[in-house]
Structure 1
Amino acid sequence: MHTSRHRRITAVCGVASLAVVASGCGGSEDAAASEDNPITLTVTTFGTFGYDDLYSEYEDQNPGVTIEANNINGSANARTDAFTKLAAGSGLSDVVAVEEGWLGSIMEVSDQFVDLNEHGAADIKDNWVDWKFEQGTDPEGRAIGYGTDIGPQALCFNGDLLDAAGLPSDREEVAEHLGGDEGTWEDYFDVGREYTEASGKAWYDQSGFVWNSMVNQMEEGYYTAEGELNIEGNEEMRAQFDLLAEATADGLSADQEQHDWGNGQGFVDESFATIVCPPWMLGTIQGQLEAAGGGPESGWDVADVFPGGASNWGGAFLSVPASSEQPAEAAELAAWLTAPEQQVKQSAAANNFPSTLEAQAEIVEAGTPNELFNDAPYGDIFESRAEGVVAQFKGPDDSVIQESVFRPVMEMIDSGEATADEAWDEAITLLNDVVVNN
């Protein structure tokens, strides 16, 4: 996790990945940033971005630009911070990280962000997987975000716990036992019942993350592709909701607190055996294990499988608010941080998976095993899981619905406070209170 700090970093002119240089680099009327002409750029991220060393590298290459780097605890808090400052008309950093889950709400005010096409985005768009660049482009064709990572989902599991329960524990065997490429959520829950019956322990950490994964997998999630709410009366979504509620009622959920897991104890005290795993979750688990005194001996691994097939959860963008007083320099910094070379380094630091094709290929070719996860071939697994991923449309209140409607409802299910019918009714009530009538 980053902390607020100040660094001196210089904008780089002529970076290979940039086709059009920013203001201050060849062709600008303004003098380039230098020790004699210093500027300050502010950057706001959230969670674990892995940018600390990149800031230092940028600093070492060129003196003259001071970066004030701020990290916010969690995506939801970052969303609140961004929209509070947008409403106030001031206070946003020169470069702001935007999470996929609230990108839709940013798109509604996309005119308050710089069109990165004016700073070379159109010339480097082929760096990214096509759907990632498209996600960061508004309906008017304005590119308002450079992609950082993507979140193709795999399944993390504790091999020691599966082995003790008499179930397959080798990652290839785990994938096969869960149905491989044809595996369904029914398969996942049925194997979970095998595990729970044999061990007396929970299968997954809590229902909220499972639910989020199930929704992300649908062709249309909380919103239709046309931007209409898509929950009430949605038979497919309700069927998945009931499927998960039934599994939880059968004792498969450990009722852990999201993003906490008992300060990591859930990963070392045998509370649960599996957790849905977009690549950035591996970095989260690493932090949790460290907090709880765990490590490679804790038994965690990751399998190239996911119930129901390809699914993406998460991934972020770097945007430049129109309020920035130095948009060209900010755009250049955002492009540098998200260029393939930097994405490879970010992946090593944060355990996320790049959104640029060149960075993905380099990670796969390197074949560096992840020691914390039983030497899992990280690049191979997430390259495989990225196949077939299609970006789901995220509406303006997508993250609000997940956090303020379905998170409390899933907590009700996990605690046994409500039946599936009662929980669904509560979800519709909250949806109306929080979104429809707000």
Structure 2
Amino acid sequence: MRKTRTTRRAVAVMAAAAIGTSLLAGCASDEETGSGTGGTSADGKTVITVGLFGTFGFKEAGLYEEYEKLNPKVKIKQTVIERNENYYPQLLTRLASNSGLADIQGIEVANIAEVVQTQSDKFVDLGKADGVSKDDYFGWKWQQATTAEGKTIGLGTDIGPMAICYRKDHFEAAGLPTDRDEVGKLWAGSWDKYIQTGKKFMNSAPEGVKWVDSASGLYNAAISSSATRYYDDKGEVIYKTNPDVKRAWNVAAEAASEGMTDKHELFTDSWNKAMNNGTFATLSCPAWMLGYIQDKGGEKAKGKWDVAPAPKPGNWGGSFLGVPEASKNKEEAIKLAAWLTAPTQQAKLFAERGSFPSAPKSYDTPEVADAKHEFFSQAPIGKIFSAAAEGIPTQVIGPKDQVIQENIARTGLLQIEQKGLSPAKAWDAATKAVDNALDE
């Protein structure tokens, strides 16, 4: 799930330039803002409008400019709303009225299930577009944007395969191995092993340094590596009885109640400052997180961080491009959406902006396979995240996944960290908050 979107920087591929920050819905926007529909420009070109939230990176990576050179009769106009929490309600309003829509609209993974279930008639079936093949994408990614009847309303842009980012200097000070292969073995296959390693770290931790940044980030990583979450395949809410949810909760609650977390809420000033000050040793890292850490950690942290495989593969992030039926330039918009999400362009976007491809065919390209990150001790990020992506479990994404997860994190886990609630009382508070939100 994408909570905050920040501006991307360039990824280090072979030559090791900086990887871009998150594709989350939030903190920074592109230069152009507003709304608008396509049409024809004064010089007779077909104007294709692309409505997005945050920074997808297409413009910054030069993909629009490349497409316009390949198609000289086309002009692309990008419009952006900074935060998905503002973008998505507006998108629903415009879909309801069939007006004000861009020719291409971005859809965040946390909203895709609701759009598929309630708005599929408002979008073109991109599964039938020329040049588009479901075999180019992970099956679970394709399915997320596909109705029960087989209509695919969105093409996947990126995904968020996860690793663990760790501070080598803190590991060394605590007597733990620092080599990324040895570090990965400490917790391979189990989040419980990750907690046990954290307890060893805390016994000899440098003064003022905690094992992990936050309970909510840890919970998100643990539940994202489970096959089931909040809904079953019939659309029923099952989070209270799902053992995978309770296991993820127990992992995060144990870390919080035993003082192993740095007690931060994700994407806040205190979390950013903690990265700069180095007050935690590990955090769960989707591919987009590397640029965020580099940005907030600063030059003084360069070479102190490294990347190891997560205990289990999981996914945190991802979006889609859809073409509304109300598009004024539907056929041209379909061509552009298909081109932007094709494996070749996904590899380019990773190289320039850090968006990890949802198209596995791009993983053998030099842009992905040979990618290393200078800031993270030359970690072979292309290989690490490709392997993680291949192991991501197929999950049921429900229409209110984001509501459930945010309440578990904020009303539950954050209260253990910041108010000293017991895990049992915090769970009760979280479930009450979730139920109230679902009833609204």
TM-score (norm 1): 0.85
In structure 2, what is the equivalent of residue 50 of structure 1?
A: 57
Equivalent runs, 1:7-22 vs 2, <5 Å: none
Residue 301 of structure 1, aligned match among 299, 302, 306: 306
Equivalent runs, 1:19-418 vs 2, <5 Å: 36-51=43-58, 52=60, 53-108=62-117, 109-120=119-130, 123-178=132-187, 180=188, 182=189, 184-199=190-205, 200=207, 201-262=209-270, 264-289=272-297, 293-294=298-299, 297=302, 299-303=304-308, 305-307=309-311, 309-363=312-366, 366-418=369-421
- The amino acid that maps onto 2:413 is M
Q: Tell whether 2:439 aligns with 1:432.
A: no
CA apart distance, 1:126: 2.1
Deviations 1:87-141 (A, max 9, x none): 45433322122222221111112111111134326x5222222332222211111
**For residues 323 and 407 of structure 2, what CA distance do their matches in structure 1 show?**
28
Contact 1:33 1:65 in 2 (8 A): no
CA apart distance, 1:404: 4.1
In structure 2, what is the equivalent of residue 24 of structure 1?
A: none
User: Structure 2, unaligned stretches of length 5 or more?
Assistant: 1-6, 8-28
- CA distance 1:405–1:87, change in 2 (3 Å): farther
CA apart distance, 1:228: 0.6
- CA distance 1:368–1:241, change in 2 (3 Å): closer
Contact 1:119 1:328 in 2 (8 A): no
- CA distance 1:357–1:35, change in 2 (3 Å): farther
User: Structure 1, unaligned stretches of length 5 or more?
Assistant: 12-31
Percent identical residues: 36
In structure 2, what is the equivalent of residue 423 of structure 1?
A: 426
**For residues 405 and 81 of structure 1, what CA distance do their matches in structure 2 show?**
26
Q: Secondary structure at the match of 2:161?
A: coil
**For residues 32 and 437 of structure 2, what CA distance do their matches in structure 1 show?**
36
- The amino acid that maps onto 1:247 is A
Q: Runs of 4 or more off by more than 6 Å in structure 1?
A: 32-35
**For residues 265 and 350 of structure 2, what CA distance do their matches in structure 1 show?**
26
**For residues 73 and 181 of structure 2, what CA distance do their matches in structure 1 show?**
51
Report the RMSD for the aligned CA atoms in angstroms: 2.5
- CA distance 1:93–1:411, change in 2 (3 Å): farther
Contact 1:49 1:346 in 2 (8 A): no
CA apart distance, 1:431: 1.5
In structure 1, what is the equivalent of residue 30 of structure 2?
A: 3
- The amino acid that maps onto 1:323 is A
**For residues 79 and 339 of structure 2, what CA distance do their matches in structure 1 show?**
18
- CA distance 1:225–1:67, change in 2 (3 Å): same
Contact 2:126 2:334 in 1 (8 A): yes
Q: Secondary structure at the match of 2:436?
A: helix
Contact 1:112 1:321 in 2 (8 A): yes
Contact 1:203 1:252 in 2 (8 A): yes
CA apart distance, 1:392: 0.6
In structure 1, what is the equivalent of residue 17 of structure 2?
A: none
CA apart distance, 1:43: 1.4
- CA distance 1:90–1:300, change in 2 (3 Å): farther
**For residues 364 and 42 of structure 2, what CA distance do their matches in structure 1 show?**
37
- CA distance 1:430–1:160, change in 2 (3 Å): same
**For residues 256 and 60 of structure 1, what CA distance do their matches in structure 2 show?**
46
- CA distance 1:257–1:240, change in 2 (3 Å): closer
Contact 2:30 2:55 in 1 (8 A): no
Which deviates the most, 239-248 or 81-90?
81-90
What is the aligned residue count? 404
